[in-house]
Amino acid sequence: MVGFAQDFAAKELSGRHVLLGVSGGIAAYKAAALARELVKGGATVQVVLTPGATQFVGAATFAGLTGRPAHTGIFDEAHAIHHVRLAREADIAVFAPATANLIAKFAAGLADDLVSSTFTCLTCPVVVAPAMHTEMWSHTATQDNIATLARRGVLVVGPDEGELAGGDVGPGRLVDPATIVAAMAAALRPSRPLAGQRVVVTAGGTREPIDPVRYIGNRSSGKMGYALAAECSRRGARVELVSGPTWLPEPAGVSTHSVETALQMRDAVLELAVDADVVIKAAAVADFRPTVYHRQKIRKEHLELGSVELERNPDILAELGADRRRRQSEGAIPGPAPLLVGFAAETDLEEERGRDKLHRKGMDLIVVNRVDMADAGFNVDTNRALLLGADGLRAEVGLTTKAELAGVVCDQIEALLVQRQQS
């Protein structure tokens, strides 16, 4: 996150009492930057450290940054119930970095040091930012523990994918301090319109098999859809993510359905959409599939150029739009039909084509994004978009991260949900 959005989020924490818990990982040094960011935004920051954290960053560093002693031991003060007082004082608590061990303690309710004891006393919003090696993050125990915390209302932010300790690369890196601050600001806002809503998000590209070796596919990485799923979950929605093949880690608190082909995606989406409040279709669905699937690998010498016959795939979004129109015209809606949000991959931000797709497929909102630039569209972390609404909305979003664009899209969805409740 850059520029004014970052300052804006930090200012939302102004005057708040923040408890910052730090555990023992190499990313502990980033907690110092986080403490500084929070203090700069006007928050009072009380740091508590696990014994492991002090191996990486000393209490004196945090004391210098926050102007308050950083506590490490449960008996640091004569005050007999040190941890209870620290928890009561907090308007919000953030644990960054949170190691696999700390997350396991939180999930199990263990209280054997100052940080875990304080956690068990908290009644304020809690944000947890995990950081660990990829193997530890992917371990079923860690994933179960994270799901337990998310279910109990803890806001889990990250981890990111990138360079880890020892030169390894993969998911497990602590998210930027600015992203943590934004998550904290979101956690403190009053209940959001997306909270408790059932949201179906599609992500990634579909693969249409020709034979056991080859398929027709596209360049979608899933990053845009996963950012949307994470953002909806962060806002309290119950998210069902229908994903084509991707290497991305499952966003915390989200239930993922893996599919491969457009037909499989259609089946999953239509089933999940029945009682959804919102459907967001960021997936790049193959428009065509081979008419015949060859069970045996086609030998090169038998594969003539131009010989793969294709047939059209169903348009899932158009089906959802048509179904909604039909149910509305029959007046037989068992509950309100879901809001429909689509994406359009275009080589320019052509408004007319975007509007045509919006109306033709019966969407409430379309996000037209560029796929002809190095910093937007497929398989990058940034994007450029034009949002068009059935209600006349027109908003251009210049170069930004996919996480931030997801925030803008969710803001718009929330505005539509509020309009719907009021009508």
- Residue of 221, 243, 400, 401 interacting with ligand PMT (CB under 6 A): 221
Of the listed 101, 145, 218, 313, which one is catalytic?
A: 218
- Residue of 59, 96, 308, 317 interacting with ligand PMT (CB under 6 A): 317
- Residue of 23, 61, 220, 261 interacting with ligand PMT (CB under 6 A): 220
**Residue 129 and residue 159 in contact, taking contact as beta carbons nearer than 8 Å:** yes
**With helix as H, strand as E and coil as C, how does the chain read?**
CCHHHHHHHHHHCCCCEEEEEECCCCCHHHHHHHHHHHHHCCCEEEEEECCCHHHCCCHHHHHHHHCCCCECCCCCCCCCCHHHHHHHHCCEEEEEEECHHHHHHHHHCCCCCHHHHHHHHCCCCEEEEECCCHHHHHCHHHHHHHHHHHHCCCEECCCEEEECHHHCEEEEECCCHHHHHHHHHHHHCCCCCCCCCEEEEEECECCEECCCCCEECCCCCCHHHHHHHHHHHHCCCEEEEEECCCCCCCCCCCEEEECCCHHHHHHHHHHHHCCCCEEEECCECCCEEECCCCCCCCCHHHCCCCCCCEEECCCHHHHHHHHHHHHHHHCCCCCCCCEEEEEEEECCCCHHHHHHHHHHCCCCEEEEEECCCCCCCCCCCEEEEEEEECCCCEEEEEEEEHHHHHHHHHHHHHHHHHHHHHC
222 interacts with ligand PMT by CB under 6 A: yes
379 interacts with ligand PMT by CB under 6 A: yes
Least gap, CB of 403 to ligand PMT (angstroms): 11
Least gap, CB of 89 to ligand PMT (angstroms): 41
Residue 383 known to be catalytic: no
Contact stretch for ligand PMT (CB under 6 A) within 47-55, 94-102, 296-304, 309-317: 309-317
Least gap, CB of 204 to ligand PMT (angstroms): 6
Contact stretch for ligand PMT (CB under 6 A) within 115-123, 181-189, 192-200, 341-349: 341-349
Binders of ligand PMT among residues 186 to 215 (CB under 6 A) are 204
Contact stretch for ligand PMT (CB under 6 A) within 97-105, 118-126, 167-175, 371-379: 371-379
Number of residues that bind ligand PMT (CB under 6 A): 28
357 interacts with ligand PMT by CB under 6 A: yes
Binders of ligand PMT among residues 249 to 288 (CB under 6 A) are 262, 281-285, 287
Cβ proximity to ligand PMT, 58 vs 314, nearer residue: 314
Contact stretch for ligand PMT (CB under 6 A) within 14-22, 69-77, 160-168, 373-381: 373-381
154 interacts with ligand PMT by CB under 6 A: no
Cβ proximity to ligand PMT, 102 vs 285, nearer residue: 285
Contact stretch for ligand PMT (CB under 6 A) within 154-162, 173-181, 251-259, 315-323: 315-323
The one-letter code for the residue type at 34 is: L
Least gap, CB of 310 to ligand PMT (angstroms): 13
Q: What residues act catalytically?
A: 218
Which residues form the interface with ligand PMT (CB under 6 A)? 204, 220-225, 262, 281-285, 287, 313, 315-317, 342-345, 357, 369, 371, 377-379
